[in-house]
Amino acid sequence: MSAREALIVGPDGRARCSWVGDDEEYRRYHDEEWGAPLHGDHKLFEKIMLEAFQAGLSWITILRRRDGIRDAFDHFDAATIAAYGDADVTRLLDDPRIIRNRLKVSAAITNARATLELCQDSPGALDTLLWSFAPAPRTKRPSALSDIPATTEESTAMSKALNARGFRFVGPTTMYALMQSAGMVDDHLEGCWRVA
Residues involved in catalysis: 29, 51, 59
Start-end of H helices in 55-165: 59-72, 78-82, 86-93, 102-119, 125-131, 153-164
CA distance 170 to 68: 22
**Would you put residue 152 in left (φ > 0), alpha (ψ -120 to 50) or beta?**
beta
- Name the burial class of residue 182, with classes exposed (0-12), middle (13-18) and buried (19+) by CB atoms within 10 angstroms of its CB: buried
CB 73 within 8 A of CB 49: yes
